Structure 1
């Protein structure tokens, strides 16, 4: 009986026609050759197969050329990619690249909404750059140097105030500035407004200057002042933050004041009025709050030195400082 069933099965197999296999959708035939052993390999009628696309050059395989792949493949994705890459906006990566796909009219409402929600936001910022106690020969003193602004990315109202004095005596110098600030470069603002002196023979000055971040990360604040008396003066400040660790920062700072003429009643001489060089080391407990220690040297120069000596003041002063830098 077993021999009869085996013979019948063999006869049936021989009578069944071999179906032609379609290899047009396979990238290569390596998988079939590896997975089929001689005993397991199906019997195939090679007279029906199309070997025109097969690589008979040995084990080396050639990359598929899309232009030579059977026409039954769907190249619509390739065509979309080519059409998008050939669009000028897509090639240059402009911010308005979406206009090339959906059109400027369709994108206008979205762009305006994005600008209203995320651009030109009105922000208030305030910083105490220096608020310090100054130990020096003679009377110890104090100093404040604060600034801030309210406005958007381009236009701001900027305010500044600084002053100093000795404990137990009237304030020596104090001023406040109110400025309109306009961004003229990615890291620089042009500022114009007024400055009011609050001590001594008071003066009101017209102000024009620039403030920003110079190459190599130097913070610059430079301004010229023209008083109602016709006195022309100028000031430039520069500082640099050198991060020693994640929280420890060393800050060199320099300030110079200039005058176009002698102003005896203010003790200011023509040329360089005074020069200050300081070094402060601060520790950022948090970025918004950082105590510091340091030292600063002040010199009166030229005619200003003569005015200081004549009035009984020191022409050179060394200050040892301890203070707080903060912002919010």
Structure 2
């Protein structure tokens, strides 16, 4: 029997008159349920993104920073892990934020997340409950808004970033993160109100789609009560920094 290409088989199946189309019709009968092709939205996937893995330098000192997240699950339900932190010139780990979240899709572009956040670094450990939104805002702007609560009060974090494609591989990314606290925590160097900001403008080149080195300029600062804590904890890396690092995902 003459072998047909997939395109020819599809045409023959649509016409319904060729014997050569029988294998195609049989395959289609298996794939379709009640005339409707099932949506493959319950398969499980794994995705991890190391968004920031960088060194920062300025006249005041240097700092290493990482920020990454990973998830496992389907299109509707996921287990989400997030972690970020810094290492100063003294070699001590700070600003450690680690989250374990249940993620549920509520619309085409946004998910609701809830779980726990653990502040684990050189300071005393703190535990928070967490609930928030993460997804793509208008014009594909990556946005996160998360609220935290514990016996020490409430807190909030707003983050956002946007990819500007200069070419298919050269991408400029503005990014910002804001943290708010209802109460100060002197043991961890956290002030009340708008506690700190971390922002950056990074230019990366995706010489391999999963590995992209970048350079940029970052800015971090503390406000109000945190200015006192900044001196007490001898924190470096604040202000404007020259930054270089690598971004990776799988």
Same fold (TM over 0.5): yes
Match of 2:187 in 1: 265
8 Å contact from structure 1 (residues 290, 325) kept in 2: yes
The number of equivalent residue pairs is: 218
* TM norm structure 2: 0.81
Task: Report the structure, 1 or 2, having the larger strand content.
Answer: 2
**Cα pair 1:149 1:158 within 8 Å, conserved:** yes
Distance, in Å, in 1 between the alignment partners of 2:43 and 2:199 is 37
State the 1:222 CA deviation. Answer: 1.5
What does residue 156 of structure 2 align with? Answer: 234
Higher RCO (CA < 8 A, seq sep 6+): 2
The structure number with the bigger radius of gyration is 1
SS at match of 1:262: coil
Structure 1 residue ranges without an equivalent (≥5): 1-106
Cα-to-partner distance string for 1:298-326 (whole Å, 9 max, x where unaligned): 11111222332355546942221111111
Aligned partner of 1:295 among 217, 233, 244: 217
> Among residues 61, 66, 79, which one is paired with 1:144 in the alignment?
66
Q: TM-score, normalised by structure 1?
A: 0.63
1:77-92 to 2 correspondences below 5 Å: none
Deviations 1:254-277 (A, max 9, x none): 111001122222221211001122
Q: Which residue of 2 aligns with 1:128?
A: 50
Q: Give me the CA root mean square deviation.
A: 1.9
**Divergent runs of 4+, >4 A:** 107-111, 310-316
**Residue in 2 aligned with 1:216?**
139
Q: Is the 8 A contact 1:308 1:315 kept in 2?
A: no
Asked whether 1:325 is paired with 2:247, we answer: yes
Q: Please list every run of 5 or more consecutive structure 2 residues that lacks an aligned counterpart in the other structure.
A: 1-31
Counterpart in 1 of 2:85? 163
Report the alpha carbon displacement of residue 281 of structure 1 after superposing the two structures with TM: 0.2
